[in-house]
Structure 1
Amino acid sequence: MFSTVSYTIDSHYCGDQLVSRSLIQKAVTCGMEIKKETSSTCTSILKSNCCRNETSIVKGQKELQNSFFDLSFTQQAICTTFTISYLNLFEGLENTIVPFKDYRAPLVVKSIHKIDEVYII
């Protein structure tokens, strides 16, 4: 399944050190980017920027081959029975059976420990 999925990895480096990496959205920056400052009276001031962003694109496979039918009949039977038996392992019992659910404990008439003077120490 993962061979058919394409995804993009966005990375932010400050100097040569990796600051953040993200798969879903843009990578979080370190906050040290230098922006271009302009004013109406002077020219733009540019400073060297130590930060850089890198984007890596991993492309997935577009063509898949169905290899199940390339197997022999016995191999197909083994794969099918293994899959079915593995999936059946996770079926639970319909009702939990508790054999002593309706059992009532007998009433205590006498305290046997006190009568026989036997104490657990």
Structure 2
Amino acid sequence: MIKVLLHKSFSALMALLVLFSTVSFTIEKHFCGDVLVDVSMFADAEKCEMEALEVLLKKTCCKDEIDVFKGQDELTVSTFEDLDFEKQQFLAAFTYSYIDCFASLPKQTIPHKDYSPPNLVTDIQVLDQVFII
């Protein structure tokens, strides 16, 4: 029970680790002067009213900042054959010894499991007057 639970939770954790290491996203910020007007993660940041006036006046007080967080583009997949011979030998020996630790014992059969002893009518030790001293 606990082994299955640990296996499932470890698998989910590894899947989330791969997911978060490969995800890329951008954060867009719009400043009007030194004041932060809008921050957006998935869409364009909203512009302020000064942006429309800048076109007429040709003066810029607004600026946009874009922060890009890049994840991994490629995952490296290495095989058993990529390892050198000593590491292959160590890994094979470790795996064999680790699996051998958890080999289950054969199920023992109890031949007299359903045997019920006969009812005692008299105490034989008292009848024969044989006692362990």
Query: Which TM class, normalised by the smaller chain length?
Result: 0.3 to 0.5
Q: Higher helix fraction: Structure 1 or Structure 2?
A: 2
Q: What's the TM-score once normalised by structure 2's chain length? A: 0.39
Which structure has more relative contact order (CA 8 Å, sep 6+)? It is: 1
Q: Which has the larger radius of gyration?
A: 2
